[in-house]
Amino acid sequence: MSGDWVQDTTRAALPRFARVAIEFINGSRLVLVDSRALGTFELHPAGEMPELGLGPDAADANWSAEQLSAALALRRAPIKNALLDQRLVAGLGNIYVAESLWRARIDPRAASNSLSRAQVRALRTAISTVLKRATGARYTDDAAAQLDVYDRAGQPCRRCKTSIERMVQAGRGTYYCPSCQK
Ligand SMILES: [Zn+2]
């Protein structure tokens, strides 16, 4: 969920925040640079399929609102926390979850199993839209890509002009519009 792979050579100084360096016999090197140290790296024997315990890929077009609905029905945790759980759905981080919930007009604190069918359908559509927007350019790196809610505390909601608020859920910052995410 964090970090970048950098390709350089074994002669170069290791980048700051290098966490993993894989050196090849031709002198090239792959380095995992992860300033927040939130990533994990595992080695598995060739041919072994690691059991990652991941849920469906959020970017998979075949992942349906019905599947999401069934998974949420089993959980009472706030929807924000559920969507960050990679066992429920894989590939959503803090920014994409905030943007998706804003787009679907869902309160991040809502119990997962309290969402209506219509809300889950809206959420599934919102996740697709957010991921499509993000593809090819990371939201956070691309000045042209506008975040709707994430990191906008105190700024007006792009839909209703209410001030965006920030709270903390499970140790992570949550940004939401108190007016149109109910
Ligand atoms: Zn709003």
Q: How far is the CA of 82 from the centre of ligand 1 (A)?
A: 22
pLDDT digits (tens, 9 = 90+) for 48-75: 888 888 999 999 999 999 999 999 999 9
Ligand 1 centroid distance, CA of 182 (Å): 10
Residue 104 CA to ligand 1 center (angstroms) comes to 11
Q: Kindly tell me if the per-residue pLDDT of 3 is higher than 90.
A: no
Domain boundaries, the chain: 4-33, 65-176
Structurally, at CATH architecture level, domain 65-176 sits in Orthogonal Bundle (1.10)
CA separation for the pair 110, 113 (Å, rounded):
8
Average pLDDT value over all residues in the chain: 92
More confident residue, 144 or 168: 168
What is the reported pTM? 0.77
Residue 115 is predicted with a pLDDT of 98
Contact 133, 124 (CB under 8 A): no
CA of 92 to the centre of ligand 1 (A): 22
